[in-house]
Structure 1
């Protein structure tokens, strides 16, 4: 399942990540490594860093020199064992949440994600930051 978020103007990656983390999302589970992406060459090679390096990683992802590249971080939702990759696209007017870690399924379904649950957790955080459009899809 993935959700694409579009904003009225370019967003600051560090601000978005801080907002999500301040709301209780986690960058790792049980003190494990932080997974992040700076797509320098189009190969989407993910990197890891120790959890204590989170602030350094966030500064790197927010560095303006990467504005024409995809950057991202894996985050886990508060009080849930579900998570996904938060990808920030070139130009920084859009980002995606690609849920791939223990997807929360729609009640009564054996394969479709509860898109509403994810939107209920993300939209209130992103709307004050200029969110203007949402597109969600699930193709199990």
Structure 2
């Protein structure tokens, strides 16, 4: 059985905050509330130690991830599209001009080829809402191994 490695790498024309990305995507139906609650991480020790907390603590999580002392670290947060029943991890690189989206929650696949990720759906759901906050480019990949 093969596995897939799918992601979309976004580049912004200027640094963005996690809060700004979340706010832009919230208009399109995305939320920090996902099936496990709210999941996030700060990669201070190269451990990618994901934490989970209760819904209702969105503001506290966003404040933590956007804190000035965290700008030199990679941070991540899961976002979920309730209506579509899918979501994934957003990993923001140090400096915050780049972030990656990895579809890890109920990954959408192509109906005619379920082993492939439906990247077109994710691009449609993510690119347009991110344009107003300075989305400059993206690169999408879906690799089997």
TM-score when normalising by structure 2: 0.89
Structure 2, gaps ≥5 residues long? 1-5
Q: Deviations over 1:71-101 (max 9, x none)?
A: 1111112411211001110111100101112
1:138 aligned counterpart, secondary structure? strand
Choose the corresponding residue for 1:20, options 17, 22, 25: 25
Choose the corresponding residue for 2:86, options 67, 82, 85: 82
Deviation at residue 57 of structure 1 after TM alignment: 0.5
Pair 1:109 & 2:113 matched = yes
Pair 1:6 & 2:11 matched = yes
On the 8 A contact 2:28/2:125 being kept in 1, the answer is no
Structure 1, gaps ≥5 residues long? none
TM-score when normalising by structure 1: 0.92
Instruction: Report the number of matched residues.
Output: 139
Runs (4 or more) in structure 1 with deviation over 4 Å come to none
Choose the corresponding residue for 1:47, options 36, 40, 51: 51
Quick one: distance in 2 between partners of 1:92 and 1:29?
Answer: 23
- Bigger helix share: 1
Q: Deviations over 1:106-129 (max 9, x none)?
A: 230121011111000001111111
- Bigger strand share: 2
On the 8 A contact 2:34/2:78 being kept in 1, the answer is no
Name the structure 2 match of 1:58.
62
